[in-house]
Amino acid sequence: MTMNATMRDNPINERAFEWLVRADGGLSPAEQAELGAWLASDSRHYGAYMRAKAVFNHVGRAKAFAHLPNPDEWPLVVQPGERRTIQPVSAANNDRDDIAPMSRRALLGLASGAVVAGLTVAFFATGQPAEALTFRTRRGEMRDIALTDGTRVALNTESEIRVLFGERLRKVELVGGEALFDVAHEAGRAFVVDAIAFQARAVAASFAIRKIGGVAPQLVVREGAVDLTPANATSLRVSANSRVWVFSGGKVSRHMLTQAELGRELMWREGKIAFEDTPLRYAISAFDRYGSVHIEVDDPAILDHTVTGVFSSDDPMGFAKAVSEVFDLDAVPQGRGIILRKRD
């Protein structure tokens, strides 16, 4: 866990920040009363809370960087010894084309390196009345599909697409799950993926869309540019090496990804799951997507521990053993699942 040791040693400051963030999210009347009692019980509590508020306010100045989705770039715009103010966010500055896209060579390297198993070629005539062609994967299954226009689609576990190519539009519906699209260029016939919460349109690009229950759908662009249109909202252009989450109400959040992060996002292509400082509760639910062996814990506190590493998505026991080594637990098979228990 990346945690600053110095902040751990003052429990009042720690509590103050926890209360502040909870208050930022909205408190119920009962919680409000609890906070009031905590503040009144000790002047240090009140002082620490006021300090936390002041800090919250102070770091809120980082909103000046709202136009730079990647915080790695932030220090670069405030150079020392130069009296330059941060450029205000302009509505027109939606494009992030100034970020160097991943080279085509790198992309080809990736594509040819991946093992393409069970390649399916979908034949159907263009110009005919469009007829939907459905491709589906079971839990734990992965599938590569070649479409007639030369586009390659990789379907992750438990995913489904419907291909509806017409004369003027190459349309694919992502019914659910996760898919990577390496879109072949075709003049005058755009490629559109409809994910319900948003549409992604590209002429030639490589991008992945994930749409699974309980999680905000996301778009990751690894090459080219994709025009993303959230339902009932205006579209924005998403350039290579970025990830966009689409929230309810058409709100979007865009981040630039490093090559390493991009690699992790697409590691499922190789049957791997990558975690970096990921809370165990999330890591376990990631494994649940791929198989029916569920990992349980005897102490819910363990779920907040974070894990880092690359694991085979079809080997939850391997993952459970690795976790148990790190946190001094025992990984024991139980029924059809695995339980992580405190070591006696």
Partner 1 sequence: MDGDARTLWLSRNIVPHEGSIRRIVGSWRLPEGLEAEDIVQESYSKIASLPSVEQIVAPKAYFLQIARSILLMHVRRAKLVSIEVIADLEHLHTADEAPSPETCASDREQLRLLAQAVARMGEPNRSVFVLRMIQGISYKDIGQALGLSENAVQKMLARSLASLALEIGRGRNGIARASNDSGDKACDRQQ
**Site for partner 1, residues 199 to 238, rule: CB under 8 A:** 214-216, 218
Could you tell me the smallest distance in angstroms from the CB atom of residue 218 to partner 1? 7
C-beta of 41 vs 128, nearer to partner 1: 41
C-beta of 151 vs 242, nearer to partner 1: 242
With a CB cutoff of 8 Å and minimum separation 6, the contacts of 304 are: 279, 280, 281
Backbone φ and ψ for 85, nearest 5 degrees, come out as -90, 155
20: contact with partner 1 by CB under 8 A: yes
44: contact with partner 1 by CB under 8 A: yes
**Site for partner 1, residues 236 to 255, rule: CB under 8 A:** 245, 247-248, 251, 253, 255
47: contact with partner 1 by CB under 8 A: yes
Contacting residue, 3, 92, 117, 125, with partner 1 by CB under 8 A:
3
Contacting residue, 29, 30, 58, 187, with partner 1 by CB under 8 A:
58
Distance CA 244, CA 128 (A): 35
**Site for partner 1, residues 275 to 334, rule: CB under 8 A:** 276-279, 281-282, 285-286, 304
Contacting residue, 27, 34, 38, 53, with partner 1 by CB under 8 A:
53
C-beta of 44 vs 139, nearer to partner 1: 44
Could you tell me the smallest distance in angstroms from the CB atom of residue 118 to partner 1? 29
38: contact with partner 1 by CB under 8 A: no
- Amino acid letter at 320? A
Could you tell me the smallest distance in angstroms from the CB atom of residue 94 to partner 1? 14
**Site for partner 1, residues 66 to 85, rule: CB under 8 A:** 66, 69, 71-72, 74-75, 77-81, 83, 85
Kindly indicate which of the ranges 18-26, 90-98, 222-230, 328-336 contains the residues binding partner 1, using the contact rule CB under 8 A: 18-26
Could you tell me the smallest distance in angstroms from the CB atom of residue 216 to partner 1? 4
C-beta of 24 vs 95, nearer to partner 1: 24
86: contact with partner 1 by CB under 8 A: yes
Helix H, strand E, coil C: the string for the chain is CCCCHHHHCCHHHHHHHHHHHHHHHCCCHHHHHHHHHHHHHCHHHHHHHHHHHHHHHHHHHHHHHCCCCCHHHHHHHCCCCCCCCCCCCCCCCCCCCCCCCCCHHHHHHHHHHCCCCCCEECCCCCCCCCCCEEEECCCCCCEEEECCCCCEEEECCCCEEEEEECCCEEEEEEEEEEEEEECCCCCCCEEEEECCCEEEEECCEEEEEEECCCCCCEEEEEEEEEEEEECCCCCEEEECCEEEEECHHHCEEEEECCHHHHHHHCHHHHCEEEEEEEEHHHHHHHHHCCCCCCEEECCHHHHHCEEEEEEECCCHHHHHHHHHHHHCEEEEEECCEEEEEECC
Per rule CB under 8 A, count of chain residues that contact partner 1: 72
Contacting residue, 29, 30, 57, 125, with partner 1 by CB under 8 A:
57
Which among 12, 86, 88, 80 is positioned nearest to 52, based on CA atoms? 12
C-beta of 1 vs 115, nearer to partner 1: 1
C-beta of 32 vs 134, nearer to partner 1: 32
Could you tell me the smallest distance in angstroms from the CB atom of residue 288 to partner 1? 11
Could you tell me the smallest distance in angstroms from the CB atom of residue 71 to partner 1? 5
10: contact with partner 1 by CB under 8 A: yes
Degrees to nearest 5, angle at CA 67 with 63 and 69: 95
